[in-house]
Chains A and B, each alone.
Chain A
Amino acid sequence: MNMDCRAAPTTTGPRTFLIRPAEKPTTMSATAKPIANTRSATGIPTARLITWWVIASEIVIFGGLLSAYLMHRLGHPEWALSADHTNTWAGAFNTFVLLTSSLAAVLAHKAADALDGPRAAKLLRLTVLGGFVFLMVKAFEWTTDIREGFVLSSGGFWSYYYVLTGLHGLHVLAGMVIMLIIAADAAKNQELQRVECIGLYWHFVDIVWIFLFPLLYIAR
């Protein structure tokens, strides 16, 4: 990583960035970043740009699944009966946990902006803890539902319930793993721009849950 060359800050739009000028490509090893990664013709660094594109394709995946569920839910009023068995309190608590972990994630981004790596790492690990609590509550919910006899194949609502919460849970898990990796780098004040990107992804997963909660738990 050639740290030495200073890049003139350019003010493009409300956010100001340090954009490095194009320069002679060194013979890179496999791990060094190519020049292509450091360029920012759109004014957004590549890390955050790819995060927006990941969020865009996730919107369409969750959107497809949720619209399929919504259509069936509006078509089958009898699903409300099985929806009664979902534990609204656990869902509400999980929403609270995710909101708090989103707070920790954005505070981590604020710390990263202040170039305070260790603090950002601590806050990221706090966010991961929030995710862990969320998954534990989810595991508790699933075991009670399964013990009551509602499994994946016991009817339309439960199939969608387990697929939706399962897919969302996997996304929370994936976010936690990546967040730990980024926190390890951030603790050494490396790659601090990635803290914001994992924060964006985490907020998106939180927004998906914000819509899942009423759809699965509250809607009668």
Chain B
Amino acid sequence: MSTAVQHAEPGFFRKYCWSTDHKIIAMQYLFTGMAMALIGGYLAYVFRMQLGFPNHNVPGFGIVTPGRYNAVVTMHGTIMIFWVAMPVLIAAFGNYLIPLMIGCDDMAFPRINRLSYQVFLLSAIVLLLSFLVKGGAFGGAWTAYPPLSASGAYNLTPLGATLWLVAVALEFVAFLLGGINFTVTVMNSRAPGMKMFDIPIVIWMIVLATVIFMASAGPLIAGAVMLLFDQTMATGFYDPTRGGDPLLWQHLFWFFGHPEVYVVLLPAMGIVAEILAVFARKKLFGYKSMLFSTWAVGILSFVVWAHHQFVAGIDPRMANVFTVTTLLISIPVAELVFLYIATLYGGSIRLDTPMLWALGFLAEFMIGGVTGIFLGSSGTDIYLHDTYFLIAHFHYTFVPIAIISVFAGITFWFPKMFGRMMNETLGKIHFWGTVIPFNVIFIPLFMTGLAGDQRRIYSYAQFAEQSRPALQHLRTLSTVGLLVMLSFQLVFLFNFFWSLRKGKRAEANPWRSTTLEWTVPSPPPHGNFAVLPTVYRGPYEYGLPGRADDYWPQNVPD
């Protein structure tokens, strides 16, 4: 049996690129996710310029032809969901927080964890390469409905389509590997004394997200194999002229697609819950009801998928089933939001940057959730489906999830991750500079959507009703909003990289929080805990009468 070999301090490659330390792997995911977010943001800039100022030369891109518009829109959607929201929310925060918050030294299977990042990096490279192949990136929408996605004759980007599919399949493999690791670690490697209801809610939500992803990704992996053969081996799985059925892909895709949006929602809700508790100095209101509501959301997310297909040619009678289940799932989500707001009651709320982001998430996500009811009820969906109303709805859910809650998490755990504090005033400037323009982008799009603007259209010149000047002004206003929002991201990038080196040095517990990751030095050493902690109580003991501090860390015995 090889004894634990002591070896010299590892070099740059072994320490940062080939490391099995969960914190390093978390940083790899975080930085890859942020890089892809810049690409996704650039793509959004390109097509918003085309929509805001039709057929003008877009500085930094050139003329946006219909084919390039489709590719840019498809890649914006694909990158933002699969290569920004999932890696940062699940893989980066999951990898970083799970071992630290449940009190163990690393993930249960560190080498599988490292492999999952490597497969993810490969998938990102394959996706970016698909921009360079003949015909350009895949242009058939991120949902890739066959027969458009199945044959090059229809989508005119045959190489791009296959590379897109291979990249998404690799990304699924990466998240299956990572997900299994998260689930096993949280189930088995909890600190002694940490019972089921002592686990911080963000860990619960990240693990439930990975389980929902695993259960829902399976059929789509099978669907992807079939689509790959349709594209390359001339099979007819989705080709109606040869016994296949294009609706089969839509069902397999959305059976994964809707649980997928809850897969990215839950970690975001977890991050926001942690921050609300710390900055309101208050125990989470009804931890158990939050947990059961999360379980309810997870289970129900598997029976709602066809509300994406009300008018897609499914049997009209099925739509009634799915509109009822869709309204049903809005109940546990409403319960979660009410519990979050109730947590603020009786607190002493400090509006530091992380809390601003958390409250910003709640305020914006409520609008997203509420506009979903219009699309979930089948009657109004007939008119609103695939219009800009739908685009505005899911950006009011996705932007709070993938951008606002990620900024909340980064500003909250930055001291722990890098041992330095981020600048508060820059943080506040960046917050207001992101949230206000975000509304300026999407409120006008609600209106253009109501006026009938359909999505994925590079120019409305052909449509008389849609080329009214009033609508074009709204589109231009929305583009201006995006330009302002993108420019404020420079404030964040400066604040992030400047604080890495020159930020005020951070102590172990700068926010005076109770969870285990704040009991180790910042940044935590390899192996995290000098002495593996034992847990004595739940994670949110704030404001206890009769104690000196207003917080009671989980591992303090008395």
Contacts and interface: CB of A to CB of B under 8 A. Distances in A.
Interface of A: 1-3, 22-32, 34-37, 39-42, 44-46, 49-50, 53-54, 56-65, 67-68, 71-72, 76, 152-153, 155-156, 159-160, 163, 167, 190
29 contacts: A3-B1, A22-B191, A22-B192, A30-B14, A31-B2, A34-B527, A36-B185, A36-B188, A36-B189, A37-B109, A39-B188, A39-B189, A46-B184, A46-B188, A49-B187, A50-B181, A60-B218, A61-B219, A61-B221, A61-B222, A62-B222, A64-B221, A64-B252, A68-B219, A155-B236, A159-B236, A159-B237, A163-B225, A190-B1
A167 B225 contact: yes
A64 B5 CA distance: 45
B235 A39 contact: no
Nearest to A68: B248
Contacts of B528: 25
A1 B180 contact: no
Interface string B229-259: 1000111110000111100100010000000
Contacts of B5: 29, 31
A54 B229 CA distance: 25
A70 to B, nearest CB: 12
A72 B221 CA distance: 18
Contacts of A54: 180
B534 to A, nearest CB: 8
CB-based closest 4 A-B pairs: A64-B219, A60-B218, A36-B189, A65-B222
A58 B214 CA distance: 9
A56 B188 contact: no
A64 B253 CA distance: 11
Nearest to B230: A159
Given A29-B5, A152-B235, A153-B235, A24 B526 contact: no
Given A37-B108, A37-B189, A30 B214 contact: no
B183 to A, nearest CB: 6
Given A46-B109, A153-B233, A163-B226, 4 more contacts: A29-B5, A30-B110, A41-B187, A64-B222
Contacts, number: 166
Nearest to A3: B1
B461 interface: no
Nearest to B185: A36
Interface stretch (B74-82, B99-107, B152-160, B347-355): B99-107
Interface string B192-225: 1010000000000000000000111111111101
B526 A27 contact: yes
Contact of B229 (A31, A40, A58, A159): A159
For A39, A44, A63, A67, the residue with the greatest tally of chain B CB atoms inside 10 Å of its CB is A39
A152 B229 contact: yes
Nearest to A26: B4
Contacts of A36: 99, 104-108, 185, 188-189
A198 B194 CA distance: 31
A40 B190 CA distance: 8
B532 A25 contact: yes
A46 B185 CA distance: 8
A67 B223 CA distance: 11
A58 B180 CA distance: 12
Contacts of A61: 218-219, 221-222
A41 B109 contact: no
B1 A53 contact: no
A25 to B, nearest CB: 4
B188 A44 contact: yes
A30 B185 contact: no
Nearest to B534: A22
A24 B529 CA distance: 9
B7 interface: yes
B1 A1 contact: yes
B531 interface: yes
A91 B216 CA distance: 31
B531 A53 contact: no
Nearest to A24: B531
B176 interface: yes
Given A29-B7, A50-B180, A64-B223, A41 B188 contact: yes
Contact of A40 (B14, B188, B248): B188
A68 B252 contact: yes
Nearest to A71: B248
A49 to B, nearest CB: 5
Interface string B498-539: 000000000000000000000000000011110110000000
Contact of B107 (A34, A63, A67): A34
Given A36-B99, A39-B104, A56 B221 contact: no
B179 to A, nearest CB: 8
B309 interface: no
A25 B532 CA distance: 8
A132 to B, nearest CB: 24
Contacts of B243: 72, 76, 155-156
Contacts of A160: 237
B236 A68 contact: no
Contacts of A27: 4, 6, 526-527
A172 to B, nearest CB: 17
B273 to A, nearest CB: 23
B218 A39 contact: no
B343 interface: no
A41 B237 CA distance: 45
B187 A153 contact: no
A159 B527 CA distance: 50
B218 A64 contact: yes
A31 B532 CA distance: 20
A155 B242 CA distance: 7
Contacts of B7: 29
Contacts of B194: 41
Contacts of A28: 4, 105, 527
B1 A49 contact: no
B189 A46 contact: yes
B187 to A, nearest CB: 5
A10 B185 CA distance: 20
B20 interface: yes
Interface in B242-295: 242-245, 248, 252
A3 B531 CA distance: 20
Nearest to A30: B20
B485 to A, nearest CB: 38
B219 A60 contact: yes
A53 B219 contact: no
A64 to B, nearest CB: 3
